[in-house]
Amino acid sequence: MRTLTTYLLCLCTAFTFAADAGNFRVIVYNKMNRETITGAEVKLQDIASGRTYTQTTNYDGSASFQIDNNAKYRLEISKDATGSSIGFLSYTYMLSEKEVASGRTFEAELEKVKHEQSGLMPAMYFDYNKSALSDENKLMLDNLLKMFVGFPTLQVEVGVYADCREGKDMTTQRAKQIANYLASKGDNKKVIVKEYGAVRALNHCDCSNEYVVCSEQKYLENRRAEFKILSF
């Protein structure tokens, strides 16, 4: 592991329309000055096949991929400055099928921060209609708390979701479990636990179409808690 000054990828909600709906386009910006970043490595991994497609952002900070609108992808962006102690922190983001099929350009910002390792924590998952934290979930929260030892100004949001079949209170119960566990470990200020409910499904299992049959594994993908760095 290297101690680097890195660029942290912050995901934005802003989108601009792309001309080709079968083309996924991403633009990478420097958060400090909103200048585009040339030479950032953008990876798009097909979740089903595991195949990874890699592009490098060009002069206007963009990279484009020909994609299957019905597939789901993992997006990862990173950059290293060759011959320098400056690097860029990689960030992995799961693109929903709706985002992939929208035909819109995805915007991402990189921010300079200090970090000892690349990558962010993956999402936590819950059993159907249950809010209890698994041993794996507790371990992930413990690892999150360890990050604050080296980075005392770090602030993180944990966004909590449910699958579309679950009651509205399930997200609240899961959020309480996370908040109570963190409080029991002595932290109640650095982590903001936010309830989102049964929204922003990562696949077609959003209960909007009674003819769509989903496996339990598909529903599980939507019963998640995602980690997002708010400030560093």
- Give the pLDDT confidence score for residue 79 in this predicted structure: 75
CA–CA separation, 17 and 102 (whole Å):
8
The answer on 132 and 98 residing in a single domain is no
Domain co-membership, 52 together with 81: yes
Condensed to tens digits (0 to 9), the pLDDT of residues 88-102 reads: 655 666 677 777 777
Of the candidates 72, 96, 115, which is a domain's last residue?
Answer: 115
| Residue ranges in the chain assigned as alpha helix (H) | 97-101, 135-150, 168-184, 216-222
Give the span between the Cα atoms of 144 and 208, in whole angstroms.
35
Q: Are residues 140 and 80 in the same domain?
A: no
User: Of the candidates 80, 115, 150, which is a domain's last residue?
Assistant: 115
Q: How many domains does the chain have?
A: 2
Q: Per-residue pLDDT tens for 164-215?
A: 999 889 999 999 999 999 999 986 678 999 999 998 888 889 998 888 899 9
Q: Where are the beta strands (DSSP E) in 71-223?
A: 73-78, 91-95, 104-115, 124-125, 155-161, 191-197
Domain end call among 115, 143, 172? 115
Tell me which residue range forms the domain holding 225. 124-231
- Nearest to 136, CA basis, from 125, 127, 147, 149: 125
Low-confidence ranges of the chain (pLDDT < 70): 1-21, 80-94, 111-120, 150, 187-188, 232
What CATH number should be reported for the domain holding residue 168? Answer: 3.30.1330.60
